[in-house]
Amino acid sequence: MIFHNIGQLIMAVAVTMSAPFCVSATEIAVTLPPLAGLVSMLDKQMQVICLLPAGADPHHFQLTPRRIEALSRTQLLIRASFDDGGWPLPPSHAHTLNLWPATGHGWLNPQTVRTALPLIGNALTRLHPEQEQAITASLHQALKQTRDIEQAWHEALSAAKVSGILMQHPAWRGLMQSMDVPVFAVLESTHHGHEHGPHKLEHALATLNQHPDAWLLADSNHSNRALDWLARHSAHRPHRITLNALGDCGLPWPQLMLQNIAQIRTMSEQARP
C-alpha cells in the first residue's frame, strides 16, 4: 500500500515502533549512529553501542580507550567501511559485518538500505537462532517501510527534480541520483572538510546563476561555508535546506528519514509564491 501523505506514513512508523519486538541481551557495536537505527528496525530491544559519540566529527574521530574496551565486549561489529575506513579501529573483531564497502552514506538511500537489511537480519539470526521467526517478520515489515519512505522521498523531491541541487557535502548525492534529482555541484573536495578553491567556487556560482531555482543543500554535521558564500554572491535568493545525515544512536532509521523529509516539505511550502 502506498501512503498518500506524510501524516499517514508518520502514523505507520509510530505504530511499528510501538509494536512488540524480540528481546535480546546481545550487545552490538556500530561505527555510525544510523547503523544502530537499522538494527532497531529488526530488533528494537537489541543492545547497541555507537562508537561515534553524539556531536563528534565522523571524519576526525579517534577511539578512546573506553570505547575500545566497550567494543571488545561486543559480539558483533557493524560498520560501513567506505565512510569509517579512516578510523583507527582495532585490527580485528571476532564478527564484523561491513555494509556498503564501495558506497558512501548507503544508509541515506532506501534502495541500498533494502540490500543491507537482509544482511543485518542474517547476522542477528546467527547470534540468536531462536529468534529467527521474529527477526524474519520484522525484516518483512522493515523492507516495506523502505518502499514507503522511498515513495515519500519521491514526493518531497518532486520540485528538486526540475530545479536541481548544489550541495556542500556528498552525503546525499546517492539518494538524489536515485531520485533523478540533478546534482550540479558538490562543494566539498575529496578531502572531508576541505572546500574547493576559488576557481571551483566561481564555477559553482555561475552554475547557480544559470539555475536560479536550484536548491542549496547543507548538512548539519559539516561546515557549510561554501554554501554561505554562494548564497551571498548569487544574483538570486536561492532556496536553502539543511539535512541531518547522521541522527543519533537512539533514532530508528524511518524516523531519521521522516525528519529530513519534513525539513524538505517545510522549505518547499515556504518557497511557494
Q: What are the φ/ψ torsions at residue 241 (nearest 5 degrees)?
A: -135, 140
- Sequence spans of domains, the chain: 6-155, 156-271
Q: What are the φ/ψ torsions at residue 134 (nearest 5 degrees)?
A: -65, -40
pLDDT at position 4 is 53
pLDDT at position 74 is 92
Cell of 273: 509564491
Cell of 253: 532509521
Q: How confident is the model over 215-266, as pLDDT tens digits?
A: 999 988 878 888 899 989 988 888 999 999 999 988 999 999 999 999 999 8
Q: Tell me the residue length of the chain.
A: 273
Q: Which CATH number is 156-271 given?
A: 3.40.50.1980
pLDDT at position 15 is 42
**Nearest-angstrom CA–CA distance, 61 and 77:** 17
pTM listed for this prediction: 0.84
**Nearest-angstrom CA–CA distance, 194 and 16:** 40
Q: Is 96 helix (H, G, I), strand (E, B) or coil?
A: strand
pLDDT at position 193 is 47
Residue 214 per-residue DSSP state: P
Q: What are the φ/ψ torsions at residue 53 (nearest 5 degrees)?
A: -70, 160
pLDDT at position 134 is 96
Looking at domain 6-155, its CATH architecture is 3-Layer(aba) Sandwich (3.40)
pLDDT at position 72 is 86
Domains 6-155 and 156-271 agree in fold: yes
pLDDT at position 19 is 38
Considering the chain, what is the average pLDDT of its residues? 85
pLDDT along the chain (273 residues), means of 10: 52 43 60 96 91 79 85 92 85 87 95 97 94 96 98 96 93 96 84 60 91 92 86 88 92 96 86 60
pLDDT at position 269 is 74
- Beta strands 47-50 and 27-30, pairing class: parallel
pLDDT at position 21 is 34
pLDDT at position 25 is 40
What is the distance in angstroms between the CA of the first residue and the CA of the last residue of the chain?
33
pLDDT at position 66 is 86
Interhelix angle 33-42/132-156, rounded to 10 degrees, is 120
- Please name the helix (run of DSSP H) or strand (run of DSSP E) that holds residue 29, with its range, or none: strand 27-30
pLDDT at position 271 is 63
**Nearest-angstrom CA–CA distance, 119 and 130:** 17
pLDDT at position 253 is 96
pLDDT at position 98 is 94
Q: What's the chain's Rg over C-alpha atoms?
A: 20
Which residue has cell 528496525?
A: 41
